[in-house]
Amino acid sequence: MRLTALEQAMLAGEHGEAVAEAIAYQIRVGEFFDAEDFVPITNAHMMGDIEVMGDSGLAHLGCFRSKGARCRVPVTTNARCADFAHAARLGQDEEEIAKEKRLIAHLQAMNVVTTDTCINYQTVYQPHLGEHVAWGDTGTVIYANSVFGARTNFESGPAALAAGITGRTPRYGFHLERHRRGTFRVVVDTELDDLADWGALGKLAGEFRQNYYAVPVFEGLRRAPTSDELKHLGCALASYGSMAMFHIVGVTPEAPDLATAFGGTPPEPALRIGRAELDRVYAGYDVSDPGATLVVFSGPQLSLFELKALAERFAGQRVHPGCQVFVTTGRGPARDAEALGYLATLREAGVTILEGVCFYILQNLSEMRRRNGWHNLVSNSAKLVNIIGAHRFNTILRRTDECVAAALTGRVTGAQS
């Protein structure tokens, strides 16, 4: 890789041992991906929890901290694996929780802002068109590339931390213009009137082309989507297709028209999605056991507007005694929702609010499932029902109203058209 004078000085140790180790690691990453050089970044976002990083990750952070590592650009953290206010009640391991707190202390000592959110793009920082960042977490990356027109790859935890320490990242992948053009065309011919519909759309397009460098271009949408709808679409595309970018003609900044989205003559449509295709998604889940033992609104964390909408649906209601309902959100939305009374309404209905976490990375989740007798997991998040299968849940995607109905009755019904 070509190095600037500053980068050569970093590698030579002139900026400290931690910086030298960080950029040496980044050079290895860059060489693996055939990067020719580095690109300066303005912001990084990293995974930082004990469930994902483990003991080796904790030791890695401790080592960097001992060498005086300090991030030179703003760095935020993704969702944690524990809400400390609920850890004991959920039966999470006390030793692991203590490690989580040490991990947070390491990060804060290195100038990392521990925001504990997977929706930083809604609540903390919104990069602009063409801005280079180094973000981890699938949902954050695809949103940055697609909705903002910023530039980032999926950065691993160590890579995002190294980027924060050096202020740069290898120039490959979606930092390059050639990878940002559309690769296949999706025509949408139906109303999408629930967050789950947007997730189902992402599932269908993601499964159609499971390729990191596949960039779907959507056309035919009957209205401009909201931030939360774009969030669920992107999370599903990333989850089912490992995708890092999409375009919506006339909506996202690099797709003012079809030709621009493809960088030339657009191809014929590769996929057409109507109501029948979406209904087949919902009908494809196993409801032979209709018991709704667990309903989860998470993966990604909920925005303030999602919390408001749920509070309105649960107001004056009560969760069925045989069901448990969890909602996860970030610190900012939680504070606002608390002040506005939304969280009180949800708690009165029997909903558990978890702050700063996403449900699927909760520490000790498999043991929680066994202890609570959870079998079916009902959610309006297409991403969640895909990635949580490793914990042996039977997952069921449903629209938001159907999820609420399952929570109140203790039963999940077949898909409604």
Q: Band the pLDDT of 279: cuts 50, 70, 90.
A: very high
According to DSSP, the β-strands at 394-397 and 376-379 are parallel
Q: With 0.75 as the threshold, say if the pTM is over it.
A: yes
Q: How many residues does the chain have?
A: 417
Determine the pLDDT at residue 12: 98
Q: Which CATH architecture best describes the domain 5-177?
A: 2-Layer Sandwich (3.30)
* Residues 297-315, mean pLDDT to the nearest whole number: 98
- Is pLDDT at 417 greater than 50 in this prediction? no
Domain spans of the chain, in order of start: 5-177, 181-282, 287-409
Q: Band the pLDDT of 188: cuts 50, 70, 90.
A: very high
- Is pLDDT at 414 greater than 80 in this prediction? no
Determine the pLDDT at residue 323: 97
C-alpha separations of 225 from 7, 97, 191, 194, 342 in Å: 42, 39, 11, 11, 24
Q: What whole-number distance in Å separates Cα of residue 91 and Cα of residue 371?
A: 9
Q: What whole-number distance in Å separates Cα of residue 230 and Cα of residue 296?
A: 20
Contact in structure between 217 and 186 (CB atoms under 8 Å): yes
Determine the pLDDT at residue 232: 98
Q: What whole-number distance in Å separates Cα of residue 67 and Cα of residue 283?
A: 54
The enclosing H or E element of 247 equals: strand 247-248
92-132 per-position pLDDT tens digit: 999 999 999 999 999 999 999 999 999 999 999 999 999 99
Instruction: Give the position of tokens 């990635």.
Output: 387
Instruction: Give the contacts of 67 (CB within 8 A, at least 6 positions apart).
Output: 16, 17, 18, 21
- 257, with CB counted inside 10 A (0-12, 13-18, 19+), is exposed
Instruction: Give the contacts of 251 (CB within 8 A, at least 6 positions apart).
Output: 221, 224, 225
3-class SS of residue 389: helix
Q: Band the pLDDT of 390: cuts 50, 70, 90.
A: confident
Determine the pLDDT at residue 413: 84
Instruction: Give the position of tokens 């900044």.
Output: 253
Correct CATH for 287-409 of 3.30.499.10, 3.40.50.620, 3.30.70.600, 3.90.1150.10: 3.30.499.10
Q: Does domain 181-282 bear CATH number 1.10.3470?
A: no
* Residues 332-358, mean pLDDT to the nearest whole number: 98
Q: What whole-number distance in Å separates Cα of residue 70 and Cα of residue 209?
A: 40
Determine the pLDDT at residue 346: 98
Determine the pLDDT at residue 223: 94
* Residues 219-239, mean pLDDT to the nearest whole number: 97
* Residues 411-416, mean pLDDT to the nearest whole number: 75
Determine the pLDDT at residue 118: 97
DSSP 147: I
* Residues 246-250, mean pLDDT to the nearest whole number: 98
* Residues 342-358, mean pLDDT to the nearest whole number: 98
- Is pLDDT at 416 greater than 70 in this prediction? no
* Residues 190-211, mean pLDDT to the nearest whole number: 97
Q: Band the pLDDT of 48: cuts 50, 70, 90.
A: confident
3-class SS of residue 77: strand
* Mean pLDDT of all residues belonging to the chain: 96
Instruction: Give the contacts of 137 (CB within 8 A, at least 6 positions apart).
Output: 45, 47, 78, 118
- Is pLDDT at 275 greater than 50 in this prediction? yes
User: Do the domains 287-409 and 5-177 match in fold?
Assistant: yes
